[in-house]
Amino acid sequence: MNILVVDDEKLIRDVIKEYLLIEGYNVYEADNGINSIEMVKKNNIDLVIMDIMMPKMDGYTACKEIKKIKDIPFIMLSARSEEYDKLIGFDLGIDDYVTKPFSPKELVARVKAITKRNSKEKVLEIAGIKIDDLAHEVFVDNKLIELTPKEYDLLKYLIENKNIALSRENLLSNIWGYDFYGDDRTVDTHIKTLRSHLGEYRDLIKTVRGMGYKIEYKKKD
C-alpha cells in the first residue's frame, strides 16, 4: 500500500514515515500542497496523510484538487481543533482528522482502520471484468482467468484510472517501479498479453498514439 505524507515540517514527515515503514507501508513524501498533487499524478497513491496549514497551497485546497484526480482516503493533520475545521474537512470527503500533537501509533491505527474499511469494498468491476482485490483474482464473464502478477497490477491500475490516458512512463513507474531498467516495449508486451486474456473485452484497452494506453468505458444507463 502506497501512502503519501504531506507536511512542510520534515521532522513530522520523518516520524510518520518511520512508523509507517515499520508496518510495511510504502511511503512517499511532499512538503507542500502543490507537490502533493504532482505526486498523486505520478504515483499510484492509496491514502494521503496531509497537514492543513502549509505554504504555497493549504491542505484543503490540495485535497480538492487530488479528489478530482483520484478518489482516495485522506487523514488531515492540524494544529487546531476547532469544530469548524473538522466540518470543512468532512465536507470535502476526508476520512479522519488528527490534531497535533498526535501519537504516531494512534495515527498508524487510524490508517489501518481506514484501510480495513475500504478493503471490504475492494471489488472493481467494468463491463464483464471483475477484480476481487482481496482474493487477488480476476474474472471475465464470471470465469476465473490466470494473470501474472504484473498483468494483474497493470489491469487493476488501468481500471482504477479508467478514461484517463496513461503514458508508458507512468505505467512503468507505477507497475514496475523507478528502479526498473526495461523500456517501453515491456509495457507494450504486457498490454498485448492482457488483451488476449480479456477476450471480447480486449478493445476496452485503447492505444493512445504517441503516449500510452487507457481503458475507455462509459457505463450505459
Per-residue pLDDT of the chain (221 residues; tens, 9 = 90+): 889 999 999 999 999 999 999 988 889 999 999 999 999 988 888 899 999 888 889 898 999 999 888 888 999 998 766 555 666 666 777 888 888 888 999 999 999 888 877 665 578 889 999 998 777 889 999 999 999 989 999 999 999 888 999 998 888 887 887 555 666 788 999 999 999 999 999 999 999 998 999 999 887 64
| CB burial string 58-96: b at 16+ within 10 A, e below | ebbbbbeebbeeeebbbbbbbeeeeeebbebbeeeebbb
Which CATH number fits the domain 2-119, given the four candidates 2.170.190.11, 3.30.830.10, 3.40.50.2300, 3.40.50.150? 3.40.50.2300
User: Can you state the percent helix, strand and coil of the chain, rounding each to 5?
Assistant: 45, 20, 30
> Distance of alpha carbon 140 from its chain centroid, rounded?
24
The edge-to-edge listing of strands for the beta sheet with 74-78 is: 26-30, 2-6, 47-51, 74-78, 96-99
Four-way CATH pick for 123-215: 3.30.2130.10, 3.40.50.720, 1.10.10.10, 3.40.50.300: 1.10.10.10
Cβ neighbours of 178 (radius 10 Å) = 9
Model confidence, pTM = 0.56
Backbone angles phi, psi at 61, to 5 degrees: -65, -45
| Cα→Cα distances 118→74, 112, 145, 156, Å | 12, 10, 25, 16
